[in-house]
């Protein structure tokens, strides 16, 4: 799959769609929606062997920029939460990779 059409493109689109729904509906709670998105990330990560951190970074970096420029506070909150959760997942994977096997 090429860089222009990688699975992270669909994940960014999903995050944007979820952010719009979060923005429009004040009754949607952030944490369950964020957990659902991160479950989708885990499905993608588990589905194949590839650069998982690169995959997540290619989702996180543009969403971070989107969060910085969006004016709607709820949408910004969701996008920032996604970017932060992806960063934590990237760091967790890096920590796991550096732990020596016993």
pTM of the shown model: 0.73
Return mean pLDDT, the chain: 86
User: Judging by beta carbons within 10 Å of its beta carbon (0-12, 13-18, 19+), is residue 55 exposed, middle or buried?
Assistant: buried
Residue 36, φ and ψ in degrees, nearest 5:
-65, -45
Which DSSP category does 70 fall into? -
**Coil, helix or strand for 40?**
helix
pLDDT recorded at residue 21: 95
Q: In percent, how much of the chain has pLDDT > 90?
A: 58
Domain coordinates of the chain in residue numbers?
A: 29-44+52-95
pLDDT recorded at residue 83: 96
Highest averaged pLDDT of the listed ranges 14-28, 49-63, 82-96: 14-28
Quickly state the pLDDT bin for 41 (edges 50, 70, 90): confident
For the segment 47-55, the average pLDDT, to the nearest whole number, is 75
pLDDT recorded at residue 1: 43
**Coil, helix or strand for 100?**
coil
Which DSSP category does 99 fall into? S
């Amino acid at each position: 799959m090429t860089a222009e059409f990688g699975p992270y493109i669909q994940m960014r689109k999903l995050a944007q769609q979820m952010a719009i729904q979060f923005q429009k509906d004040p009754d949607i709670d952030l944490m369950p929606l964020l957990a659902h998105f991160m479950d989708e990330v885990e499905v993608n990560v588990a589905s194949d062997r590839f650069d998982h951190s690169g995959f997540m970074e290619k989702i996180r970096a543009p969403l971070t920029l989107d969060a910085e420029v969006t004016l709607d506070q709820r949408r910004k909150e969701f996008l920032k939460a996604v970017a932060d959760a992806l960063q934590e997942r990237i760091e967790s994977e890096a920590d796991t990779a550096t732990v020596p096997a016993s």
